[in-house]
Amino acid sequence: MNKIFEYKLRPNKKQVKLLDSLLWETKCLYNNALQELIDYYEKTGKYLNRFTQDKNYNKQIYPNIPAQFVDTTLDRLHRSFANFFRGLKQGKKIGFPRFQSYKRWSSFAFRDYTQGKIKDGKWYISKTNGIKVIQHRDFLGTPKLTRLVKRADGYYIQVICEIKSVKVKKTDKQIGLDLGLRYFIADSSGNKIEAPKFFRKAQYKLARNQRQLSKKQKEGKNRNKVRQIVVKNHLTIQRQRRGWLHKLSHKYANENDVVVVENLNVAGMVRNRYLSLSISDASWATFLSMLEYKLQILSRTFIKVNPVYTSQKCSQCGAIVQKSLSQRTHYCPECLYIGDRDVNAAKNILKLGQVLPFGEDTAIAGLTTQEANRSLGV
């Protein structure tokens, strides 16, 4: 499993210039190579393969780009062509590789880690004697390669690492999670976790900034300044949110052997009939993917189930108890169980993950995610 660790770079003025020009030149290289492929196809009706393109490549055109960035940039182009062709074959809509503008082209990669190492708090890239790295914590696993990324607030380096899962002690605990509108999460143990205020606050702030932005003149100097502020605000909000989601998913992965969640695609379809909360939706998806890899690393089980009826069913006796969206409490006339609506749903979700759908009372904990999902027909 690959994981990306990201660190901020503190380049000096000269180094910023160098990074900027490397980005600019790799972008031009990409676009030229793309044009070459298109021209070749128009002339011959054939695809110019990576090997021939590399062989014909004139090193004099971009003398400043180190050979390995030429390599990885061409790789990137041919990879996006491979994706495009695969899409055609499978009938999926994957766009034709497009020409890149400087604004969109924000990264390039080293071939492997030995070429782009971090050493003594510095990152070594061509013709510099090391760019300072703010490495708040060390990366985990085996580093595969490094990548340079430019964001609104500066340059970052990403170390892509391969992480092998470890066996940890069993906790003998299983939990079901309900992702809701009222609470971010209600779990089957009865905990209800609200989304922090900054989830919402951030939204207003962003909307205000964007209004200001639309008032400024199209090409004016001020517009650019405001745009910078908007993008930076956006980054800050994103980081706050991710930080919170990391902590929460870490807690659930650490405390349980098995975590059962609802399949978000299905849940999303059900919910959108009432309300569309794009921010929560995006955060849920992020949360679930964080949770999944954290569980994988610990060799623990992550199960997605189809959430149909989870909010209406009684988690104690299985009776269907109809309730409107505003009704917060589940009260069962059959078995007299009373509980929070979302906690009841979370208990149902946990049950769905524990039992095979054909009424066989077999626990499926211990299966891999794929096996479990397949057996549940998800």
CB atoms within 10 A of CB 318: 13
> What is the closest distance, in whole angstroms, from the C-beta atom of residue 322 to Zn ion in the complex?
13
Site for Zn ion in 151-180 (CB under 5 A): none
Cβ atoms within 10 A of the Cβ of 86, count?
11
Site size with Zn ion, rule: CB under 5 A? 8
Cβ proximity of 37 and 81 under 8 Å? yes
Instruction: Return the number of the residue (124 or 337) whose C-beta is nearest Zn ion.
Output: 337
**Beta carbon nearer to Zn ion, 259 or 349:** 349
Q: How far is the CB of 339 from Zn ion (least distance, A)?
A: 10
Residue 316 contacts Zn ion per CB under 5 A:
yes
To Zn ion, the closest distance from the beta carbon of 4 in angstroms equals 46
Beta carbon nearer to Zn ion, 154 or 190: 190
Rounded to the nearest whole angstrom, what is the least distance from the CB of residue 337 to Zn ion in the complex? 5
Nearer to Zn ion, 112 or 340 (CB): 340
Report how far Cα 27 is from the mean position of its chain's Cα atoms.
24
CB of 330 to Zn ion, least distance (A): 9
SS (H, E, C) 148-210: EEEECCEEEEEEEEECCCCCCCCCCCEEEEECCCCCCEEECCCCEECCCHHHHHHHHHHHHHH
Coil, helix or strand at residue 330: strand
Cβ 320 to Zn ion shortest distance, Å: 10
Q: Of 34 and 314, which has the nearer Cβ to Zn ion?
A: 314
Q: For residue 175, list its beta bridge partners.
A: 259
- Between CA 176 and CA 346 the distance in angstroms is 5
Beta carbon nearer to Zn ion, 22 or 321: 321
Q: Which candidate, 109, 46, 126, places its Cα nearest to that of 73? A: 109
**In angstroms, what is the minimal distance from the CB of 331 to Zn ion?**
9
Task: Single out the segment in contact with Zn ion by CB under 5 A; choices: 9-17, 43-51, 122-130, 312-320.
Answer: 312-320
Selected range binding Zn ion among 111-119, 185-193, 196-204, 313-321, rule: CB under 5 A? 313-321
Cβ–Cβ < 8 Å for 342, 181: no
Q: Are 37 and 48 in contact (CB under 8 A)?
A: yes
Interface with Zn ion in residues 321-340 (CB under 5 A): 332, 334-335, 337
Of the candidate residues 23, 109, 259, 314, the single one contacting Zn ion (CB under 5 A)? 314
Task: Decide if residue 320 touches Zn ion (CB under 5 A).
Answer: no
- The angle, 0 to 180 degrees and rounded to 10, between the axes of the packed helices 197-215 and 278-297 is 130
- Rounded to whole angstroms, the Cα distance separating 128 from 265 reads 47
146: enclosing H helix or E strand = strand 142-151
Torsion of CA 84, 90, 92, 97, to 10 degrees: 0
Instruction: Give the shortest CB-334-to-Zn ion separation in angstroms.
Output: 5
Could you tell me which stretch among 24-32, 50-58, 199-207, 316-324 binds Zn ion (CB under 5 A)?
Answer: 316-324
Give, for 345, the enclosing helix (H) or strand (E).
helix 341-354
From the list 31-39, 127-135, 158-166, 317-325, the region that binds Zn ion by CB under 5 A is: 317-325
Q: Which is nearer to Zn ion, 88 or 319 (CB)?
A: 319
Angle at 75 between CA 132 and CA 5, to 5 degrees: 35
Of 145, 169, 155, nearest in space to 72 by CA: 145
Alpha carbon distance 310, 313 (integer Å): 6
User: Which span (101-109, 170-178, 193-201, 307-315) binds Zn ion, by CB under 5 A?
Assistant: 307-315
> Which amino acid belongs to residue 7?
Y
Residue 178 is encoded by which pair of tokens?
């309900």
**Residues 186 to 205 in contact with Zn ion, rule: CB under 5 A:** none
Question: Residue 164 Cβ, how far from Zn ion at the closest point, in Å?
Answer: 45
Q: Tell me which amino acid residue 31 is.
A: N
Question: Closest approach of Cβ 260 to Zn ion, in Å?
Answer: 20
Residue from 67, 94, 235, 317 in contact with Zn ion (CB under 5 A): 317
Q: Decide whether 68 or 312 has the Cβ nearer to Zn ion.
A: 312
State which residue, 82 or 335, has the beta carbon closest to Zn ion.
335
- Closer by beta carbon to Zn ion, 209 or else 354: 354
Binding site for Zn ion (CB under 5 A): 314, 316-317, 319, 332, 334-335, 337
